[in-house]
Amino acid sequence: MKILSIVAALALAGALVYADVPKTEDANLVSVVNSGKIATKTLLETLQKNMQQHMKKGGVMDALNFCSTEAYALTDKVNSELQKGVTTKRISIKYRNPANEPQADELKVLNSFAEIKTAKKALPEYVVEKVDEHTYKFYKPLTINNQVCLKCHGDISGDKVLEKAINERYPTDKAVNYKMDDLRGAVVVTIKK
């Protein structure tokens, strides 16, 4: 697999660098990027809207229940509504649900994002990876950008009820002790042409 962009250069340039690709593939790359952006936006808006409704209705515990019982079904629903060959998922190095554990190639991209954050550089808007002749992965980095996220992903040690509820649902949870602007993970859009 060849990452089509150099993540460090992306952080500095703020734009996708698509190296060593013939010009005839430019239209294909534009299509991949557009598909990735649409799929990411659809997934994030769907999850955020539902999360906000549950937070408003029943607070943190209701939002936790939503995440643990409905978030994957909503992701599947979004995937069923996307164009054929396009699927989304969320990944994280510090995942809460083992289903969000990154694959080896995805982990490399997440580690690159983490290095950029550690160097206090701006994350790229996205990265595109060419997996094979017909498959691409579009990565959209996710950061903790809202205080409400920290209710479940920050320091929860002071809330024994929440801590117990999370541990019951996610016995191998790693997704705590984040701070504002920390890298949370990424949305990965797999695009098969």
pLDDT tens-place string over residues 73-94? 999 999 999 999 999 999 999 9
* Residue 28 in this model has a pLDDT that exceeds 90: no
Instruction: Write the pLDDT tens digit of every residue in 103-159.
Output: 999 999 999 999 999 999 999 999 999 999 899 999 999 999 988 889 899 999 999
Confidence of residue 5 (pLDDT cuts 50, 70, 90): very low
Confidence of residue 23 (pLDDT cuts 50, 70, 90): low
Domain boundaries, the chain: 2-192
Q: For residues 152 and 173, is the Cβ–Cβ distance under 8 A? A: no
Confidence of residue 13 (pLDDT cuts 50, 70, 90): very low
Per-residue model confidence (pLDDT) at position 24: 55
Q: In sequence order, what are the residues at sequence separation of 6 or more whose Cβ sits closer than 8 angstroms to the Cβ of residue 129?
A: 1, 2, 3, 4, 105, 109, 136, 137, 139
Question: Residue 23: phi, psi to the nearest 5?
Answer: -60, -25
pTM of the prediction?
A: 0.84
- In terms of Cα–Cα distance, which of 150, 149, 148, 147 is closest to 158? 150
Residue 81 CA: distances (Å) to CA of 39, 159, 164: 10, 38, 35
Cα gap 119→108, rounded to integer Å: 17
Q: Can you say how many angstroms the Cα of residue 154 is from the centroid of all Cα atoms in its chain?
A: 17
